[in-house]
Amino acid sequence: MKRDWKRKIIGGLCLTSVAFVFQACYGTPQDFGNDLLIEGQVTSKISGLPIKGIKVSVSESVEYAKTDENGKFSFYTGIFQNVNIKFTDIDSTQNSWFSNKDTLIIIKDSVLQSKQPKVYLNIELEKK
Amino acid sequence: MVTKLKQVLFREFKKSETKHHELNYLFWECTTRCNLNCRHCGSDCSKDSFYKDMPLDDFLKALDTIESPCEHFTVVLTGGEPLLRKDIELCGREIRKRGMRWSMVSNGYLYDNEKHISLLNAGLGALTISVDGLESSHNWLRNNDKSFERVDIAIGLAASSSRLNFDVVTCVNKRNFHELEEIRKYLIQKGVKAWRLFTIVPIGRAKEDDEMFLTDNQFIELMNFISESRTRKDIDVKFSCEGFVGKYESKVRDSNFFCRAGINIGSILIDGSISACPNIDRTFAQGNIYKDNFFSVWQTKYELFRDRSWTKTGKCAECEDYKNCQGNGFHYWHGEKKNVLVCHNERLKKTTNR
């Protein structure tokens, strides 16, 4: 911690605010972690069994995942205070026919400020 | 006076950074296969690689030796072309599971909408794509007629993501030198926010190709172009960290020249070698993950990277700017290591004094 202060003071005195932000010649810019990990499981409200093939997406975002045979999903998306997550049955009647669902989640400040923000959702879908 | 003071302070800052050598940027040369056969390649890769891709588990074992990685620790997947790995998303997810971040350098040829989404899903946080000119000059350097068409799609997708820290890099050569302003306009129109310009290192297959290298006058014009572009603020243009550029230092970059190879930047190369940036002479390898503990090597070796006094030889021996430059970029020391391959500062001084 002491060394971090010293580093910041010397770097700051160099009058270059980016002394700590660098990229190697043939490398990429640094990743400052503007993302949120969304994980969870989708099950049937009636049977409690996992549902495969449900598309899980975020409004106004390109990222999405499909649930696996255990109904599980996991993907990173942009980080915002409010995230609207959509669950859509896209495989028609292959695993029965489930109603779509939208869930608005409000991300707590403690999650937003954590090193790797993530949320876990258990979602039940009703059969049509 | 202020410039001198800043230089003194920056030298102190570099000393402090070197002493603590916090690892926060790790290249992983995950493949040396490539789908292109460019006229120039920082890693001298080609379509036929001698090496098999490094198994993910081998890399993870080395990664797991790192004790308490720093806050923004990033693994940079490089190659070859990383997108040729079928398990690229799995690689990314495994890195993220360890509380670390990952990014990638790509030629963009395979970066389509589906790949864009799957990489974002896997937690890709930063990306660099090479654009080496407008269509004709890009395809010429990339040795592929469809290369520009494909990279155009790739940069459009990457620029559309608000969470990707994305930039475009361009290797400036005699063919694309006269297009720089047009390339700048093109990138702005594509929504690109950051553009880094390089010159080409005279190593590997580029060494004998005169069209790859700028004349001294062109090099000074490049500095002027970058300097002028930075005043316009419509795209963040900068010269790469490849070398010390004397009086242009504060005009072409956000920060003074500081080659952090082996100080903050490490690498695990395709054969398991432990080194720094992948374009550095491979005889500088400090160990091998198949024999050594990666983090122990990082903590206890790298003497030649952290004490650069050995570079005070050849043209650097009597140089008045040595204390600010310290032998230019580490990747300019090849072969016998008796002289720096390129001195940007010398080129600039020579041209200015004519």
Whole-number pLDDT of residue B106: 96
With 80 as the cut, is the pLDDT of residue B20 above it? yes
Cβ-contact B162, B137 below 8 angstroms: no
- B104:A79 CB<8 A: no
More confident residue, B210 or B293: B293
Whole-number pLDDT of residue B312: 96
Best mutation target, B15, B74, B256, to test chain A (most A CBs within 10 A): B74
- Chain A contacts of B129, Cβ < 8 Å? none
CB-based contacts of B256: which residues, under 8 Å, 6+ apart?
Answer: A14, A16, B6, B7, B10, B249, B250, B324
In CATH terms, A31-125 corresponds, of 3.40.50.300, 3.40.50.620, 2.60.40.10, 1.10.1330.10, to 2.60.40.10
Cβ-contact B277, B261 below 8 angstroms: yes
What is the DSSP pairing of strand A72-78 with strand A35-44? antiparallel
At residue B16, the 3 state secondary structure works out as: helix
Mean pLDDT of B240-264: 93
- Nearest CA-CA distance, residue A120 and chain B, Å: 15
Tens of pLDDT along chain A (128 residues) come to 456 666 666 666 655 545 556 777 778 998 878 899 999 999 999 999 999 999 999 998 899 999 999 999 999 999 888 999 999 998 766 666 889 999 999 998 988 888 889 999 999 999 88
Whole-number pLDDT of residue A33: 81
CB-based contacts of B229: which residues, under 8 Å, 6+ apart?
Answer: B184, B235, B237
Rounded distance, CA B310 to CA B150, Å?
44
Neighbour count for residue B226 (Cβ, 10 Å): 22
- A29:B162 CB<8 A: no
- Chain A contacts of B93, Cβ < 8 Å? 74
- B96:A76 CB<8 A: yes
Per DSSP, helices labelled H in A1-128 are: 2-13, 109-112
Report field, pTM of the whole predicted structure over 0.80: yes
Give the tokens for residue B177: 């030198």
Residue of chain A whose alpha carbon sits nearest to that of B171: A26
- Nearest CA-CA distance, residue A48 and chain B, Å: 27
B80: preceding bond cis by omega (within 30 degrees): yes
Domain range for B156 is 2-352
- Chain A contacts of B72, Cβ < 8 Å? 30-33
Q: Tell me the pLDDT tens digit for each residue of B58-89.
A: 999 999 999 989 888 999 999 999 999 999 99
Q: Is the CB of residue A47 less than 8 Å away from at least one CB of chain B?
A: no
Q: Is the CB of residue A19 less than 8 Å away from at least one CB of chain B?
A: yes
Q: Is the CB of residue A12 less than 8 Å away from at least one CB of chain B?
A: no
- B74:A15 CB<8 A: no
Nearest beta carbon to residue B103 from set A25, A28, A74: A28
- Chain B contacts of A74, Cβ < 8 Å? 93
Q: Tell me the pLDDT tens digit for each residue of B77-128.
A: 999 999 999 999 999 999 999 999 999 999 999 999 999 999 999 999 999 9
With 90 as the cut, is the pLDDT of residue B303 above it? yes
Nearest beta carbon to residue B254 from set A10, A11, A18: A18
At residue B30, the 3 state secondary structure works out as: coil
Q: Is the CB of residue A28 less than 8 Å away from at least one CB of chain B?
A: yes
Q: Is the CB of residue A70 less than 8 Å away from at least one CB of chain B?
A: no
Nearest beta carbon to residue B6 from set A15, A21, A76: A15
Rounded distance, CA A10 to CA B326, Å?
20
Number of domains making up chain B: 1
How many CB pairs below 8 Å do chains A and B form together?
Answer: 149
With 70 as the cut, is the pLDDT of residue B266 above it? yes
Q: Is the CB of residue A7 less than 8 Å away from at least one CB of chain B?
A: yes
Q: Is the CB of residue A13 less than 8 Å away from at least one CB of chain B?
A: yes
Using pLDDT thresholds of 50, 70 and 90, give the confidence band for residue B184.
very high
**Stretch (H or E) spanning B217:** helix B216-232
CATH of the domain at B188: 3.20.20.70
Rounded distance, CA B256 to CA B249, Å?
6
Q: Tell me the pLDDT tens digit for each residue of B223-239.
A: 999 999 999 989 999 99
